[in-house]
Chain A
């Protein structure tokens, strides 16, 4: 018996029970599709988040405040009065004498609202900030201009739209300039449209944004006295990032009379630390999704084992005949193991085709990338064949151990 002949018998057995084989492989198909899709989804999310964080610029620090941390784990006491980040903090950081390695500072309130123009309504995230934002965030304009210091001082009703928002409301960035949009009952004039920062789907789309003066927001749109969400700090260069980080931290700690960032309730993040934090999250997500999906693979494997047991008990006479004609135990064992492995492998191939199709469909509909990589494909095929072999061991060894007379005599 050569490998090819063993394979031929197995294939023949699978094809002669077509419906049953298809139903059995379905379990593995769904399992493999679920695993590859969920891993692909998590990897897609990871690469997207990473590229968006990258697009923030490599010399950017983000300061966030208001983090009340337990100072003493045993007593559970929290830092006394975590001071929110204020405009005064931003002004202090902008002082070149105190912080020479900081090139620019943009205080920020993160918010979101619905913008409407005519009969169109678009929900967007919004950043209320100062004119320094454009340089600090390394963004450029596709049309019009950014708002000015005067407009900031006057709380002027102006707004700058992201590329995505502008095209949804007015169809074209240039057509947006000078148009009016309303937000929470206020009418604002569009003075500029940001150049696209790469777009992409998901919740961190850099083009799905609106930027307006901080003063305008506080005076016209906010519900009351709001503290800052954070401060963007731009280092003089990528090489000066560490110094800028230290200057920022030292200054903010000194202003709060605290010795550690935890005690002060602030958090300073560089793009690198953001990437690491996000990758930690997406890795956990990959494991979680993959783990849940793997359970369906185990269920699929049990299905294969079940059908192999049925197959063995149905073919008792055939096994008896083969043994009578001289098949050794090992030959019978190999025959049924091959059949189980092939059954699962076929399921795996269908699973990959299914996940490839679904991934392409999701990408086409949402622009969300779901990579199905070569290692994923190879691993999926290896895993499904292995599942088949493991599921086949018990049924195959039962077949191999059968006594030829018992097997021949049974009706």
Chain B
């Protein structure tokens, strides 16, 4: 796998999108959700992606998260060209390289916190004892060392999102992708979760945060604005 040549000197970016298009076809109508997006995110960066609904923000997040593939263009994630991979290969990429944090937390309600956290390690075929150790480690890192055996229903919204962040950390991914992580939280929990993201950034993690709230986006080093399927007025982005 070769990285695309970059305009900048220095290390290969964690994320590198070049002229990415996403077109949906239905009832004979073509809808361009993305119209030639270029974006680089370097290791250790904390980037916020902002945009109103319908701007293509969610589509961009799906492509960055390898949950969907671009119709056209190139996408290199952590040195690997993922634009034309099969379903199962994408599943492996998601498992190894990306840690997801969702707005709805998406925890399995019947399973205790540590079981939820170890879930990605199952699919990575990690042995049972190792899984448990790493899950408890990740829970300790988000400050929930003593909540490992609580079920999601017994935790507050902020704590649930911390469990979800622990789950995103447990595979030690190249990128943490947070989709409106504070969208379902009160102001106290929001501050709590954003503080945690700050900490993770300070410890060298690469974070991409999707949000529509300006004060949330303000926590990032760099804000990328998506409008009408294109990146508008972004520092470090822009049309070729």
Q: Which residues of A contact B (CB under 8 A)?
A: 1, 5, 12, 16, 317-318, 320-331, 403-405, 408
**CB atoms of A329 and B87 under 8 A apart:** yes
A318–B105 CA distance with the chains assembled, in angstroms:
11
Q: Which residue of B lies closest to A12 (CB)?
A: B110
Task: Give the residue among B91, B96, B123 with the most A Cβ atoms within 10 A.
Answer: B91
A85 to B130, CA, bound (A): 89
B125 sits at the interface (CB 8 A): yes
Alpha-carbon distance between A116 and B120 when the two chains are bound, in angstroms: 82
> For residue B65, which residues in chain A have a CB less than 8 angstroms away from its CB?
324
**CB closest residue in chain B, given A325:** B120
- Report the bound CA distance from A331 to B96 in whole Å: 16
Take A318-B108, A405-B67 as given contacts and tell me if A324 and B123 are in contact as well, using a CB distance cutoff of 8 Å.
no
Chain B residues with Cβ below 8 Å from A328 are 87-88, 91-92, 123
Contact sample, A vs B, 8 pairs, CB 8 Å cutoff:
A5-B122, A321-B102, A324-B100, A326-B120, A328-B88, A330-B88, A404-B67, A404-B94
Smallest CB separation, A173 vs chain B (Å):
68
Say whether B106 contacts A1, CB under 8 Å: no
* Contact residues in B for A12 (Cβ distance below 8 Å): 110-111
Q: Which residues of A contact B106 (CB under 8 A)?
A: 317, 320-321, 324, 408
8 Å CB contact of B95 from A5, A318, A326: A326
Beyond A320-B106, A326-B123, A404-B67, 20 additional pairs, beta carbon < 8 A: A5-B122, A16-B110, A321-B106, A322-B119, A324-B67, A324-B106, A325-B95, A325-B100, A326-B91, A326-B92, A327-B91, A328-B87, A328-B91, A328-B123, A329-B88, A329-B91, A403-B67, A403-B68, A405-B62, A408-B106
Interface hits, B88-120 → A, CB 8 Å? 88, 91-92, 94-96, 100, 102, 104, 106, 108, 110-111, 119-120
> B124 in the interface, Cβ–Cβ < 8 Å?
yes
Q: Which residues of B contact A331 (CB under 8 A)?
A: 123
Interface Cβ pair total, 8 Å cutoff: 60
Instruction: Tell me which residues across on chain A come within 8 A of B94, comparing CB atoms.
Output: 323-326, 404
Please give the residue numbers on chain B whose beta carbons come within 8 Å of chain A beta carbons, in ascending order.
Answer: 62, 65, 67-68, 87-88, 91-92, 94-96, 100, 102, 104, 106, 108, 110-111, 119-120, 122-125, 167
Which chain A positions have C-beta within 8 A of B111?
12
- The CB with the most chain A CB atoms within 10 A, among B96, B119, B125, B167, is that of B119
Measured in the bound complex, the distance between the Cα atoms of B119 and A324 in whole Å is 11
Q: How far is the CA of A216 from the CA of B204 in the complex (A)?
A: 113
Q: Which B residue sits closest to A332, measured CB to CB?
A: B91
Assembly CA distance A322 to B118 (angstroms): 12
**CB of B87 to closest CB in A, whole Å:** 6
Cβ–Cβ < 8 Å partners of A323 in chain B: 91, 94
Q: Which residue of A lies closest to B68 (CB)?
A: A405
Most buried by A among B67, B92, B111: B67
Task: Please name all residues of chain B whose beta carbon is closer than 8 Å to the beta carbon of A318 when the two chains form the complex.
Answer: 108
Q: How long is the Cα–Cα vector from A271 to B67 in the complex, in angstroms?
A: 76
A16 to B151, CA, bound (A): 14
Question: Quick one: closest B residue to A320, CB to CB?
Answer: B106
Collect the chain A residues with CB atoms within 8 Å of residue B167's CB.
325
In the bound assembly, the distance between CA atoms of A255 and B65 in angstroms comes to 99
Q: How far is the CA of A408 from the CA of B62 in the complex (A)?
A: 11
Contact in complex: A1, B123 (CB < 8 Å): yes
* Complex Cα spacing A330 to B88, Å: 9
Chain B residues with Cβ below 8 Å from A330 are 88
| Chain A residue with the shortest CB-CB distance to B177 | A324
- 3 interchain residue pairs of minimum CB distance: A326-B95, A326-B123, A405-B67
Q: How far is the CB of A339 from chain B (nearest CB, A)?
A: 14
Nearest chain B CB to A301 CB, angstrom units:
26
Q: Which of A5, A326, A405 has the most CB of B within 10 A?
A: A326
Interface-centre pick from A325, A327, A328, A329 (highest chain B CB count, 10 A): A325
B158 CB → nearest A CB, Å: 20
CA distance A12 to B112 in the complex (A): 12
A331 to B119, alpha carbons, bound, how many Å? 13
Closest Cβ of chain A to B149, distance in Å, is 16
